[in-house]
Amino acid sequence: MPHPAPVVRTPDARFAGLPEWPFTPTYLTLDGLPGAPIPLSIHVVDEGPRDAAETVLLLHGEPSWSYLYRRMIPPLVAAGHRVVAFDFVGFGRSDKLTSVGAYTYELHRRTLLGVMEALDLRGVTLVVQDWGGLVGLPTAALDVPDRVARLVVMNTFLPTGEETPSLAFRAWKAGVGVVRTWLPVGPLMRLALPASQRRFVPAYTAPFPTRASKAGAVAWPLLVPTEPGRPVAAHMTAAREALSRWDKPALLVWSPQDPILGGVARHFERLIPTAGPAVEVRGGHFLQDKSGAEIAGYVLRFMEQTRPGRPT
């Protein structure tokens, strides 16, 4: 059997006619990404005025893509903001490396930095969930704090390997390690999404037509540190230290029904000095899918209340 090409892109036809997804795909080309043998094309949704005073940057997690934010993008744009969501390498419409070992934390960090620099994003309200938090929070706090105006943190964590992972996550990571690129994305999403949202499962499986295209989805859970001293753990420890001194606004939006991260909001309430009690919404791990419009409303009020120069 021939080896797959080192880089593939999911055919456009897989994304035709997705429900609630009217956005025209655009692409950035990023060169020199770690582990990439050629420049990679990164799919970007870039909506709203390019000269807007404020930009909302939405980061997805595992095994989703920008589609997860389909119900948040329209109300944020309607309020006059520029809204950017992109697919990390290996996900959505972005290029995919076909070797699990090619995916590293540095690859995803450099992709995020590359998108922010290429689009010159400033005054950013950074919205993160799942692996979007593991990449976005350290990058915001340590690399580009001057570009980030505020944080919105949703159902994520900064694992250092010193804490005991939930049983659900341990089972998830162990299962991925066994099945590897046979990863059954469709059945997993059917389990993770509320019953009312399962009609959208085909949109989440669209990016993964072959085993080779799933390498990035396999790699992410395997990168999560579950013991001290692992490479990614150092990034998480440094991010925790930086966020403990964060002096810009922060909003926590959480779904307690998440079997993996439902109880982690308390950690961020204690960690980030500017974060008050988490706002709770329904939806489980993929809270944006069920409660996206509601979350967008919370984000808009948060942005209005924390705008520089607003009377107190």
Q: Is 46 considered catalytic here?
A: no
Instruction: Select which of 60, 130, 235, 289 is catalytic.
Output: 130
> Catalytic annotation on 267?
no
- The Cβ-side half-sphere exposure at 167, using a 13 Å CA radius, reads 0
Tally of CB atoms within 10 A around 134:
28
Q: What is the DSSP letter of 275?
A: B
Annotation marks residue 285 as catalytic: yes
Please give the structure tokens belonging to residue 157.
Answer: 């964590």
Select from 274, 300, 298, 272 the least CA-distant residue to 287: 298
How much helix, strand and coil, in percent to the nearest 5, is found in the chain?
A: 40, 15, 45
Catalytic residue among 81, 108, 235, 285: 285
d(CA 258, CA 281): 11
Give, for 204, the enclosing helix (H) or strand (E). Answer: helix 201-205
Which residues form the catalytic set?
130, 258, 285
